[in-house]
Structure 1
């Protein structure tokens, strides 16, 4: 059983303040709902308190800035900040530099390839948090796909578009299954439903016309 102490409560407050003005992409839902959902999944699937805290804080560097790294280290310790760093695609500062849509899309592919390469060799403590975060996102995409008012337009929110997003999630499913992550089965169900609702058969891995040399990591056939 996961025991939660005052550290967890302090992390909830930290996340609430850090993400106070942020919303879930394309919605009016407070971003805090996402990190709370990820933390709940981590606890549900047997994570310890450090992993649950890291789940609460996993997007602080990416969405709120690099200064949070030192603050998380000081307040919650090395184990937590190591997981947060490992779950970070890019800092808020680097993301802000992607003002040009074409550059942002190109950088998205590069970042996702790097993230997949890091994930396949990540520590088990990182993998659980990462997988729970991706599961929460995948279920949110499925929910929007099932909503007649949104449907496949949900993919317009992402730099990878429909093909890139579907490929990325399928590649993640392959990584999580290969590493026997405890949430791999639930994640695969969500990704399968995502592809079904998107009318995308067969499921394909993340790939671009310019770069196919990462097939070892990305190919799911």
Structure 2
């Protein structure tokens, strides 16, 4: 059984403060909701406290700035910082450097391709946190696809659009499945549902 200590409580507060004012795409839901959900999934799939804390903090560099990584390392330890860094596919500063839509799209594609290549070599304790993050995001997309007031317009929120988003989640599902990460079978089912609701046949490798 994973025991949660005051480190976890402090991490919740750190995430709350760091992401204050941020909301989930296309909603007014505080971003903390996603971070708590990822940490919960990490625990559900057998993760330890370090991994659960990393689940809470996995987006702090990407969304709040690269200076947070040193603070995370100092407050929560090297292993948590390693996982957070490994779950980051770009910094807030780097994303803000691209304002032109075409440049943003090229940057998005390059970051996603690099992240997929990274997952093939990442250690298991990193993969669990990454898989839980992607699973919660995929479930949120499916929930919006099932909502008649949103539907396929959900893809307008994402830089990759419908085609890019479906490609990325299929590739994630395949890559995490190849590594036999515990949440991978659930992610594969959710991604299949995403394709069906989007009206796009699943990639041939997504049913492996």
TM range (shorter): over 0.9
Equivalent residue, structure 2, for 1:21:
21
Aligned partners of 2:192 and 2:202 also within 8 Å: no
Tell me the alpha carbon deviations over residues 83-119 of structure 1, each in whole angstroms, 9 at most, x when there is no partner: 0000001000001011111100111111000000001
Counterparts of 1:157 and 1:202 in 2: how far apart (Å)? 21
DSSP-derived class of the 2:177 partner: helix
Distance in 1 (alpha carbons) for counterparts of 2:39 and 2:126: 13
Determine the structure 1 residue equivalent to 2:159: 159
Q: How many residues align?
A: 208
The CA deviation string for residues 67-91 of structure 1, in whole angstroms up to 9 with x for no partner, is 1011000000000000000000100
> Is contact 1:167–1:204 with CA below 8 Å preserved after alignment?
no
Question: 2 CA distance for matches of 1:202 and 1:194?
Answer: 9
Distance 1:176 1:138 in 2: 14
Q: TM-score, normalised by structure 2?
A: 0.97
Q: Secondary structure at the match of 2:21?
A: coil
What residue in structure 1 maps to residue 99 of structure 2?
99
**Structure 2 unpaired stretches of 5+:** none
Quick check: 1:8 aligned with 2:8? yes
| 1:170 and 1:220 in contact (8 A); partners too | no
CA distance in 2, matches of 1:100, 1:172: 27
Q: Contact conserved, 1:19 with 1:32, CA < 8 A, in 2? A: yes
Change (3 A) 1:42 1:105: same
Question: Is the 2:169–2:191 contact (alpha carbons within 8 Å) kept by the matching residues of 1?
Answer: yes
For each residue in 1:173-192, what CA deviation from the matched residue of structure 2 results, as whole angstroms up to 9, or x when unmatched? 10111000000111001000
Unaligned regions of 5+ residues in structure 1, if any? 206-218
Q: CA–CA distance in 2 between the matches of 1:120 and 1:35? A: 24
Instruction: Identify the residue that residue 150 of structure 1 maps to in structure 2.
Output: 150
Q: How does 1:196-211 map to 2 (within 5 A)?
A: 196-203=196-203
Q: In the alignment, what sits opposite 1:112?
A: 112
Stretches of 4+ aligned residues off by more than 2 angstroms? 202-205
Distance in 2 (alpha carbons) for counterparts of 1:156 and 1:138: 15
Cα distance in structure 1, aligned partners of 2:101 and 2:132? 29
SS at structure 2 position matched to 1:56: helix
Which structure 2 residues correspond to residues 47-62 of structure 1 after superposition, within 5 A? 47-62=47-62
Q: Is the 8 A contact 1:166 1:204 kept in 2?
A: no
Instruction: Specify the alignment match of 1:32 in structure 2.
Output: 32
* Preserved CA contact (<8 Å) 1:23 1:29: yes
Across the aligned residues of Structure 1 and Structure 2, the Cα RMSD in angstroms comes to: 1.3
CA offsets 1:153-173 (integer angstroms, 9 cap, x no match): 000111110011001000011
Instruction: Give the conservation status (yes or no) of the 8 Å contact 1:170–1:204.
Output: no
